[in-house]
Chains A and B, each alone.
Chain A
Amino acid sequence: MTNVTARVSTDPPKKIKQGSFFRVMAQQKYLYFMSIPFVIWAFVFSYLPLWGWTMAFQKFRPGRGFFEQEWVGFDNFRMLFEDPMFYQVLRNTLAMSVLGLIAGFTVPILFAILLNEVRQMAVKRFVQTISYLPHFVSWVVVAGIVSKMLATDGTVNDLLLSLGLIDEPIQYLAKGNLFWFIVTGAELWKEMGWNAIIYLAAIAGISPELYEAAKVDGANRIQQIWHVTLPGIRTTFIILLIMSIGHLISIGFEKQFLLGNTLVSDYSQVLDLYALNYGLSMGRFSFGTAINMFNSAISIALLLAANGIFKRMTKESIF
């Protein structure tokens, strides 16, 4: 690092800066060759789609040039906000994301804390290894497994029948009012172990002296967890929480797409699926884009709001 500062300070004075820019550029040609192609790539696939947002203000017809499109102002948004389906979809999106947020934070933290209390390394490693497993399996596979487990001849029904808790098998995936909880449960099953990694890392970073001190003060293990472990993972928790709130509305649609069916569509349709079904599949590109834009706008607003609130409340923030 010192070499670099030295070189910068010996740069010739401002006058010939122009010339030196290209000279340095020539010196750094490999660095340019190694980054510029990928920057262009990122431009095409990340920034160029933003241009597509103009479609939301058009009555987009494929095959026409940009200037030949018919501009309709906010008509697509008006149509969106007047669609009763939109509010149902928004409700489903928020319900599933809030449930996911609550379960997705409390359970992995609890799991990490319990795992940390295991003294036998072999046991700890074994449980941890098993717990990551579902994270690496695709949602297609998880959806298959979940629907098998919840099928009329599946494990859940078998278990409940043999315990005498129910008299006949229940078709869980055909019940709309259960759908949100099934999705949340499936997500939890898949990601709990994986999400715990971050907390385990944070816990590992807590100084053992703090635990020693707590022990000297007579704290039992639950008190140690409460007064040492939990405060120790606070920063990690808040940063992850802010980021998750930013993603609250864009929860994706894989789970809902794969686990849902026509019987539960009143509860399973989320914003992205709505854009897919009512925008893309029907060729109403402009309407779909308006949904996408609404989605992005809310995400950014939520992220900023969460960041602001936590900044004020806890002095922790991501920016």
Chain B
Amino acid sequence: MTIRQMLSARWSLFDIVVYVVLAFVTVITLYPFLNVLAISLNDSTDSVRGGLTIFPRQFTLNNYETIFAFSGLITGLKISVLRTVVGTLLGLIAASMLAFTISRVEFQARRFVSTFLAMTMYVSGGLIPFYILIRDLNMMGTFAVYVLPGLVSAFNVFIIRSFIDGIPFALQESAKLDGANDWTIYWRVILPLTKPALATIALFLAVGQWNAWFDTYLYNGMAHHLTTLQFELMKVLQSTQLNVDQFRGQNMNEVMRRISPESVRMAITIVVTVPILVVYPFLQRYFVQGMTLGAVKA
């Protein structure tokens, strides 16, 4: 059998079309990231010549040195990490506790709690009433505004709840016979068994927190010690000229000579993106499972 015959036996025209289309999708998805990475790693005066693809022409880490001298960036990084950790933990506690209580058929307030939560998915006052509420609660310019308003998410509650429903109730019953109260059952039985669902929700929450910028823009734009990384990137991307005042403690001429707005933008883009790229392959298994679960329920 010749190679050509082997190929033609295994690969129909249909297969070839499928593979070409999927290769195209892969390239279109990956190329922009690689291009941005290459620009961020390339000497900025050289980048201006254009024509960079996925490899840097004149490799340098100068762009990264420059942005880390940028006063907002370190604060932004700290606040972003903090809100991601705190927001994810609190969100998980809220969602899992609520899911546990509404999974218990004998819970008196079960119907009330679950209907009350389900309604929040459909009702929303809109941007301005929400803004007024945050202002009236004196939450403007606070860290709390990052974690409290979005604490309870009905969607997450229902995903965890459908997962708990899959756990045999007999486990809870036997724990009860052993003298466990509801809190102990939640803590010792339910939480360990719902780990896959919790991992999914944690990923959703963490990505949401890490990527949020609008709440900073709306409530904390003036509170410089509370601005996030995404917000700083947004400012840099929105301004056509970089604000040189933002670079502190550096010789201004030196800064002016070294930076091209384009390279700085691309370097910040990479800094904001990398944490996501690092965690996501590990969690992939979970979120596909979680999404499917959510889809089946919803």
Contact = CB atoms under 8 A, between A and B. Distances in A.
Question: Is chain B a partner of chain A in the same complex?
Answer: yes
Contact of A145 (B15, B25, B36, B238): B36
B35 interface: yes
Given A44-B133, A155-B31, A236-B295, 4 more contacts: A140-B237, A153-B48, A197-B295, A296-B124
A295 to B, nearest CB: 6
B3 to A, nearest CB: 19
Contact of B29 (A3, A189, A300): A189
B189 to A, nearest CB: 13
B192 to A, nearest CB: 17
B30 A130 contact: yes
Given A111-B25, A143-B237, A42 B124 contact: no
Contacts of A198: 291-292, 295
B50 A141 contact: no
B230 A138 contact: yes
Given A39-B113, A114-B21, A148-B39, A201 B280 contact: no
A178 interface: no
A35 B132 contact: no
Given A39-B113, A49-B126, A198-B295, A138 B32 contact: no
Interface string A16-34: 0000010011001011111
B22 interface: yes
Interface residues of B, number: 93
Interface stretch (B55-63, B67-75, B206-214, B247-255): B206-214
B29 A31 contact: no
Interface of A: 1, 3-4, 7-8, 21, 24-25, 28, 30-36, 38-39, 41-53, 55, 62, 111, 114-115, 117-118, 123, 126-127, 129-134, 136-141, 143-145, 147-149, 153, 155, 158, 189, 192-193, 197-198, 201-202, 220-222, 236, 239, 254, 258, 272, 275-276, 279-280, 285, 288-289, 291-293, 295-296, 300
Given A1-B105, A145-B33, A38 B237 contact: no
Nearest to A202: B295
A137 B129 CA distance: 29
Nearest to A60: B132
A234 B53 CA distance: 41
Contacts of B256: none
Most B C-beta atoms less than 10 A away, residue of A48, A129, A138, A293: A138
B104 A31 contact: yes
B126 A295 contact: yes
Nearest to A293: B126
B44 to A, nearest CB: 13
A133 B280 contact: yes
Given A31-B182, A39-B116, A145-B33, A130 B26 contact: yes
B163 interface: no
B152 A289 contact: no
A248 to B, nearest CB: 15
Contact of B18 (A45, A114, A197, A202): A114
A52 B133 contact: yes
Interface stretch (B81-89, B94-102, B193-201): B94-102
Contacts of A137: 211, 273, 276
Contacts of A21: 108
B292 A201 contact: yes
B155 interface: no
A280 B127 contact: yes
B237 A193 contact: no
Contact of A155 (B25, B35, B128): B35
Contacts of B259: none
Given A38-B152, A296-B126, A24 B108 contact: yes
B50 A51 contact: no
Contacts of A50: 123, 125, 129
Given A7-B106, A34-B97, A45-B148, A52 B284 contact: no
A32 to B, nearest CB: 7
Interface in B241-289: 262, 265-266, 269, 272-273, 276-277, 280-281, 284, 288
Contacts of B296: 201
10 shortest A-B CB distances, which residue pairs? A52-B129, A292-B126, A49-B125, A138-B211, A30-B182, A46-B120, A153-B50, A288-B128, A49-B129, A35-B101
A4 B133 contact: no
